[in-house]
Amino acid sequence: MTNIKFGTDGWRAIIAKDYTVDNVKRVAEATAKWLKKNNGKQVVIGYDCRFGGQMFTEVTAQVLGGFGIKVLMDQHFASTPMVSLGVAKTKSDLGVVITASHNPPSYNGYKLKSKFGGPMIPVHIAEVEDLIPDACTLDEVPSMEELTEKGLLENIDLEKMYLDHVEANFDLDAIRNSKIQLAYDAMYGAGQNAVMKLFPKAHFLHCEFNPSFLGQAPEPIHRNLGELSELIKKDPAITLGLANDGDADRIGLYDDEGQFVDSHHILLLLLLYMREHKKQDGKVVVTFSVTDKMVKLAEHYGLDYEVTKIGFKYIAEIMTEEDVIVGGEESGGLAVKGHIPERDGIWIGLMIMEFMAKTGKSIRELIQDVYDIVGPFHSDRDDLHITNEQKLKVVDTCKNDPYQAFGNYTVQKIERVDGTKFWLADDQWVMIRPSGTEPVLRVYAQAADAKQVRAILDATRDTILA
Q: What average pLDDT score do residues 178-191 get?
A: 98
Instruction: Give ranges for CATH 3.30.310.50 in the chain.
Output: 378-464
pLDDT band (50, 70, 90) for residue 147: very high
- Structure confidence at residue 436 (pLDDT): 64
The total of other beta-carbon atoms located within 10 Å of residue 226's CB is: 10
Name beta bridge partners: 251.
Answer: 244
Enter the DSSP assignment of 93. Answer: S
Distances (CA, A) of 426 to 26, 212, 386, 408: 51, 44, 30, 14
Q: What average pLDDT score do residues 251-272 get?
A: 97
- Structure confidence at residue 387 (pLDDT): 87
Enter the DSSP assignment of 19. Answer: B
H/E run at residue 297: helix 293-300
What digits encode the pLDDT tens for the residues 59-99?
999 999 999 999 999 999 999 999 999 999 999 999 999 99
What digits encode the pLDDT tens for the residues 377-412?
999 999 999 888 899 899 999 999 999 999 999 999
Is residue 431 within 8 A of residue 288, CB to CB? The reply is yes
Q: What average pLDDT score do residues 12-37 get?
A: 97
pLDDT band (50, 70, 90) for residue 439: confident
What digits encode the pLDDT tens for the residues 300-346?
999 999 999 988 889 999 999 999 999 999 988 899 999 999 999 99
First to last CA, the chain: 38
pLDDT of residue 145 exceeding 80: yes
In angstroms, the CA 40 to CA 314 distance is 23
- Using DSSP's 3-state secondary structure scheme, residue 430 falls into strand
Mean of all residue pLDDT scores within the chain: 96
Q: What average pLDDT score do residues 275-296 get?
A: 96
Scanning 150-240, the segments in alpha helix (DSSP H) are: 158-169, 172-176, 192-198, 226-234
pLDDT of residue 20 exceeding 70: yes
Q: What average pLDDT score do residues 206-210 get?
A: 97
Residue 445: closest CA among 464, 459, 465: 459
- Structure confidence at residue 364 (pLDDT): 97
pLDDT of residue 43 exceeding 90: yes
In angstroms, the CA 264 to CA 269 distance is 9
- Structure confidence at residue 437 (pLDDT): 60
pLDDT of residue 193 exceeding 90: yes
pLDDT band (50, 70, 90) for residue 126: very high
Instruction: Give ranges for CATH 3.40.120.10 in the chain.
Output: 11-158
- Structure confidence at residue 72 (pLDDT): 98
Name beta bridge partners: 107.
Answer: 14
Q: What average pLDDT score do residues 251-265 get?
A: 97
- Using DSSP's 3-state secondary structure scheme, residue 136 falls into coil
pLDDT of residue 438 exceeding 80: no
The CATH number that domain 378-464 falls under is 3.30.310.50
CATH superfamily to which 11-158 belongs:
Alpha-D-Glucose-1,6-Bisphosphate, subunit A, domain 3 (3.40.120.10)
Enter the DSSP assignment of 185. Answer: E
pLDDT band (50, 70, 90) for residue 24: very high
Enter the DSSP assignment of 276. Answer: I
Q: Give the range among 25-29, 244-248, 384-388 with minimum mean pLDDT.
A: 384-388
pTM value is 0.93
Residue 107: alpha-carbon gap to chain centroid: 16
**In the chain, what's the furthest Cα-to-Cα distance?**
70
Q: What average pLDDT score do residues 226-249 get?
A: 97
pLDDT band (50, 70, 90) for residue 373: very high
- Structure confidence at residue 389 (pLDDT): 87
Q: What average pLDDT score do residues 365-371 get?
A: 98
Is residue 69 within 8 A of residue 122, CB to CB? The reply is no
